[in-house]
Each structure stands twice: as C-alpha cells, then as structure tokens.
Structure 1
Amino acid sequence: MKLTFSSVTILPCTVLLFVIIQPSFQYVYSCNSTVACGCSSNAASVTRIVGGESAGTSTWGWAVSIFISGTSLCGGAILSSSWIITAAHCVNRISPSQVYVYAGSNTRFSGQSRVASSITVHSSYVSSTKLNDIALIRLGTALTMSSSTVSKICIPSVSSTTLSAGEWPSAGLAVVAVGWGTLSEGGSLPSTLQQVTVKTIDYRHSTCSSVLNNRQVQFCAGISGGGKDTCQGDSGGPIMMFTTSNQWVLVGVTSYGIGCA
C-alpha cells in the first residue's frame, strides 16, 4: 500500500494512499465550460477506481511540471496566471531563479516555460512531519491563459468549523491525482502526464491513523489491492474532486508516501 501526504494554507493538507485493484470502466467528466475555473478544453476520461493511466490531451489544463535546481521534478497546479501551488518540500530553501514551471503540455518540461520570481512556503511547514506541506510559486511572467491548453483549478470553499473537525474531504470520496512521477519505485519517468483515481480514507482506518500527523490538515486516500500509485516525482501535483457544479476543485497536493506499487 502507498501513503502520500500533503498540506494546505487555503486547502486542507493531503495524505494519499495509492493502490489499485482490477480495471473498471471509463468515466467521462464533462465540465461546465462557462465557469472561470476547474474546466479544461477537453473532458477528462478516467478509469474509475483503477487509475494509473496516461491523461488525455488538454484534460488537466492546470497541471504543471516543475524543474528544480536542474535535478528535481515536482508537480503543481495553476491557481491564476501568475500563481502555482505545489508541495513545500519541493521548493523549501530553493532560490526562485532555480525553479522553472512548464504549463499547457502533457509532456514534462514542455509548453509555456516560466521562471519563478518568488516562493512562499507555508509559515507552519514542518519538514520532519510534512505538516502544512504547501507552497506558492509566483511566476516572473504571467502565463498566457488564452491558450486552449491552459486553465486554472478551482479553490474549495470550506468552513473553518468543518476543517477543524477534520471532516473534509469526507471518507469514500473519489478523487483524481495527476503527475509525471516514476511508474515504479526507482523507475524511469513517463513521457506523458499520468492520472490515477482513488478514494479518501477515514482517518480512523488503521492504515491511515498510523501515518496521519494531523487530520485537520492532512487526509489519506487510496484503494486496497496493489497496483499503481503516486511515486517519486509526483510531489506537489494536484489532488482533485469533481463537484455537482461540474467543476474540478483542488482538495490538496501530493506530499509523501510509503514506497510505490
């Protein structure tokens, strides 16, 4: 089994447990093209429950690949033309000039290229536990949002009462994670963006409770059985849910886990 965690200032932190069972059926998410966020130019076709597959062209227009210090790969999501959200551990203590963001392409390190002008790491980030593992990257030059391949993810509206109770997102919710991480532990990077569907796990579940540091800012997600999951290089990538308003909303970012499938 795989666990991945993350944190959020404007979003709850995320803990992901990614493990896949047998293939299921494809589900097409047709979003509302009239909304300002959470809708890409093409509908996302995702294997429900299973995940672990290449993403379709222009289905996740907010997904970005981030090249750090000439050696590291992380993911992120577009909040606006000038702001990217990612995991704090990806960019903590890194000079902005060493951070390159690539948007509008399913191929890593291609598409619109921008250099960071500033990096804001969550003020309560704890590197040892990955609590509040969230950072914002400001781009030196704004992205061209008029491009059909680029869009922005929606930010959730959740009450402080719900967040303090650790009841969001609710257990059993289907969420999708995307990234350019390795397909197996220590393996090579895929050439194109990958997507995987999992479900959020109750914080009291034994697999989750043993690794969850703070349920108010982290959560677990996954499916038992073995298979594909998030892996090295997926850190910072968006974890999303599809709402009743037919929009994709960010619920967290991939942070850390236990091995890979």
Structure 2
Amino acid sequence: MRALGDFLVLALAFSGAWGGSLKGTRIVGGPMSEWGDFPMMVAVLTRPLIGRSELLCGGTIINDNHILTSASCVTDHSALGLKVMGAGLDLLGSAGYEEFKNIQQVFIHESYDPTTKQNDIAVLRTSHNFVFVHDLIEPTVLPADDTEPASGAFASVAGWGMDEVRLYML
C-alpha cells in the first residue's frame, strides 16, 4: 500500500496537479532556502552504529527539546537510532552552524494507523536542549488557540525532499 501511495504522490507531482502548475510553485523544483528562512526546521536522521546517517524526514522545533514530526517516519526506529539536525541547509552539516541532537524518547500518537496514515504524528524529545540563535535555530511560532488564518492567507512549505521529479515504475 505504501508503494501505491508513493506512486500517487509522484504522479500528482509529475502532472503538476500537486502544488501548482508552475515550476517555481512546487516543492520539487522550488527555490533553495537561504539561511534564516526556516529556523524552526530540522532534519530527522538515522543514527547508525556504523556508516553514515540517512534522512528520514523533516521536523519542526516546538520548544528547546521537542520536535514535531510524522509517526510514519520514526515508527520503525528506536530513540537510540535517531538524531536531528537544526540550522542546516544541506544534509552534510558542512556549514559549521548546525546543532545535532540525539533523541531520548519517541512519542507516537496513540491512534496512529500505519495503513491509513491517520493520526500520523509524533513528538521527539532530544537528549539535550537546543541553543536558540536568532535566524538559525528557533522554535516555531504557534497561533493562539482562537486564531484562524485569514481568508486567502499564504503559507510556506519547506522540506528536505527531492530537488527533481523522478517517475518510478512499480
């Protein structure tokens, strides 16, 4: 079922039906981020005993030691097998500003359904607090409980995904 879902997403992206028809309006083919564009964004990575880390998905800093991510990304991993990187623009961590934090505990939504992806949400607790630096690493700003976005408001989407569309035969 996962492969079919991946194919559907790839097909929608390829057709331009997912995220708009202009190349600059899609995540795939969208512009590269600059320093400070998304200081609340982290990369959720594997932490293998041997070899290099691999990207699992993105996450959002909620506070100094909690990350919001999707359950489907971390459900097959223990806390000891995960880490996050903040303040990075590439997955190599080559700029020197990045903060890497090991994961102490994984909280997966109690009603998460891996088949339907319903309640696909998880919170990661880091082993050490992030050091917040303006425009590099900051928690996300959540709206007040009674605040709704204005009609026609714009939103930004960021991720660590592909930089081009690839069509795979299943």
TM norm structure 2: 0.71
Contact 2:44 2:83 (C-alpha < 8 Å) held by counterparts: yes
Match of 1:78 in 2: 61
Q: Which amino acid aligns with 1:177?
A: V
1:198-209 counterparts in 2 under 5 A?
Answer: none
Q: What is the alpha-carbon distance in structure 2 between the residues aligned to residue 185 and residue 21 of structure 1? A: 13
**Local SS of the residue matching 1:176:** coil
The reply to whether residue 55 of structure 1 matches residue 38 of structure 2 is: no
Higher strand share: 1
| Preserved CA contact (<8 Å) 2:43 2:55 | no
Secondary structure of 2:63's counterpart equals coil
Root-mean-square deviation (Å): 3.2
Distance 2:91 2:55 in 1: 12
Would the aligned equivalents of 2:37 and 2:135 in 1 still touch at CA under 8 Å?
A: no
Shift of 1:146: 3.6
1:90 aligns with: 73
Residues 82 and 126 (structure 1), Cα distance of their counterparts in 2 relative to 1, 3 Å cut:
same
Residue of structure 2 in register with 1:129 after alignment: 116
* 1:102 corresponds to: 85
For 1:107 and 1:62, locate their aligned partners in 2 and report how far apart those are by CA, in whole Å.
Answer: 15
The structure with the largest helix share of the pair is: 2
1:89-140 deviations in whole A, cap 9, x for unaligned? 0111411111110001212252101100000001111110111111000000
Partner of 1:117: 104
Kindly indicate whether the alpha-carbon contact (under 8 Å) linking 2:42 and 2:59 is maintained by their aligned counterparts in 1.
yes
1:181 aligns with 2:161: yes
Indicate yes or no: 2:45 matched with 1:67: yes
In structure 2, relative to structure 1, the CA distance for the partners of 1:50 and 1:117 (3 Å cut) is closer
Q: In 1, Cα distance between the equivalents of 2:140 and 2:118?
A: 23
Give identity over the alignment, percent. 22
Contact kept in structure 2, 1:68 and 1:91, CA below 8 Å: no
1: CA distance, partners of 2:151 / 2:134: 36
Assess if the C-alpha contact under 8 Å between 2:40 and 2:139 holds in 1: yes
For the pair 1:153 / 2:133, whether they are aligned, the reply is no
Check 1:170–1:18 CA distance in 2 against 1; reply closer, same or farther (3 A cut): farther
SS at match of 2:157: strand
Aligned partner of residue 125 in structure 2, secondary structure: strand
For 1:22-59, what per-residue CA distance to the aligned partner results, in whole angstroms no more than 9, with x for missing partners?
A: 36xxxxxxxxxxxxxxxxxxxxxxx7x56611112111
Cα distance in structure 2, aligned partners of 1:76 and 1:186: 23
Work out the CA distance in 1 between the residues paired with 2:54 and 2:26. 31
Tell me, in whole angstroms, the C-alpha distance in 1 between the residues paired with 2:85 and 2:45: 8
C-alpha displacement of 1:169: 6.8
Q: How many residues align?
A: 145
Q: Is the 8 A contact 1:66 1:109 kept in 2?
A: no
Note if contact 2:60-2:139 (Cα within 8 Å) is conserved in structure 1: yes
Query: Does the C-alpha gap of structure 1 residues 180 and 50 become closer, same or farther in structure 2, counting only changes over 3 Å?
Result: closer
Corresponding letter in the other structure for 2:128: T
Contact 1:58/1:149, CA 8 A, preserved across alignment: yes
- Alignment gaps of 5+ in structure 2: 1-7, 11-16, 48-52
1:175 is paired with a residue of what secondary structure?
coil
For structure 1, list consecutive stretches of 5 or more residues without a partner in the other structure.
5-16, 24-46, 163-167, 188-258
Cα distance change on mapping 1:131 and 1:50 into 2, 3 Å: closer
